[in-house]
Amino acid sequence: MVEKQGEDTIESLYSAQHMEVTIVIPAYNEAAGIRNVLQALTVASRQWGTDVNIIVVDDGSMDETAAQAKTMEGIKIIRHNYNKGYGAAIKTGVQAAETEWVITYDADGQHSPDLIEKLLPAMTAECDLVVGKREGYKGPWIRQPGKWLICLVANHLTGHHIPDLNSGLRAFRREQFLCYAHLFPNGFSLSTTSTVCFFKEGLNIMYVPIRIHRRNGKSTIRPRDAIKTLMLILRLTMLFSPLRIFLPTSVFLGCLTMVITTYEMIFHRNVSTSGAVLLTFTGLVFFFGLLADQVSALRRDMGKRLS
């Protein structure tokens, strides 16, 4: 058994190292560090024995990000005319890729090339998504409470414990990503939404432990980010499990209707208009939930039928 496991490991390493992959790097105002990131990535990729294509998507930067990236040979540069968002840059890069596997990689210095080397052995025929599970430093502390809350909701929606919900270092099959790309937002929540989507669709996901560096530059958080967090929770719920909202609500309203109706029958010998209205509202909430669930399923299936 040990020998067979060793042979399987060697075989998976061999197949991973002889595949062709595309690394997509979304960049916005990263002129200070993008050249160093690309240089380190280019040098390291030559030692992997893997055909690597690198695409930098300049998401409407106001600095010299694109100019710095162009100083590196063999890098494909795609520019957005204006800032569309992290998720939009990822989708542009994936659409431009021509390989089976695509890896997303940050331009701010948090990732190092050796982390990609850890993902490669897991990129096998049995897997659809490989995510770098961050250990130790996971980003600015001020963002962690919101991420923790979203992770709780995502675990509830998927029925799985998700080790790392929004890690930016991940490898996925391009075809699978494009099947659901119409569901993914243009902002930073693309990572979160795509992870939940892959879990909900029953695709094969593997996590690989990694350690990231602190980003180059300062990460900021604004009051509106709290609103975005709440909206993301609602959006995920409505997109993947709307009945998680509507079913408990209708059950609560139904119980409340029974209590009110029972009270009125015992003490007033009749059912008031408010009880009838509440019963009608309970039914509407339940059937609206069923309708929302069907619409959600159709939206998720749309990409499969178009591909």
- Categorize the per-residue pLDDT at 7 as very low, low, confident or very high, splitting at 50, 70 and 90: very low
At 116-137, the pLDDT tens digits run 999 999 999 899 999 999 987 7
Token readout for 204 is: 């094969």
How many angstroms separate the Cα of 272 from the Cα of each of 257, 262, 265, 282?
11, 11, 9, 16
Whether the per-residue pLDDT at 141 is higher than 70: the answer is no
The residue length of the chain stands at 307
Return the pLDDT at 178.
Answer: 94
Flag the least confident range among 110-124, 183-197, 274-288.
Answer: 274-288
Angstrom distance (rounded) from CA 93 to CA 121? 23
Please determine, for residue 253, whether its predicted confidence score (pLDDT) is greater than 50: yes
Compare 16 and 123 and report the one with higher pLDDT: 123
- pLDDT at 223 exceeding the cut of 80: no
Q: What is the Cα–Cα distance from 171 to 164, expressed in whole angstroms? A: 14
Q: Which residues contact 80 (CB under 8 A, 6 or more apart)?
A: 57, 58, 59, 60, 88, 89, 92
pTM of this structure: 0.79
pLDDT at 303: 61
The string of DSSP letters for the chain reads: -HHHHHHHHHHHHHHHHTSEEEEEEEESS-TTTHHHHHHHHHHHHTTTTSEEEEEEEE-S-SSSHHHHHHTSTTEEEEE-SS---HHHHHHHHHHH--SSEEEE--SSSS--HHHHHHHGGG-STT-SEEEEEE-S--S-GGGHHHHHHHHHHHHHHHTS--S-SS-S-EEEEHHHHHHSGGGS-SSTTHHHHHHHHHHHTT--EEEEEE-PPPPSS-----THHHHHHHHHHHHHHHHH-THHHHHHHHHHHHHHHHHHHHHHHHHTSS--HHHHHHHHHHHHHHHHHHHHHHHHHHHHHHHHHH-
C-alpha 218, offset from chain centre:
23
Average pLDDT, the chain: 84
- What proportion of the chain, given as a percentage, has pLDDT over 70? 83
pLDDT of 264 higher than 60: yes
- Reported as a pLDDT band with limits 50, 70 and 90, residue 10 is very low
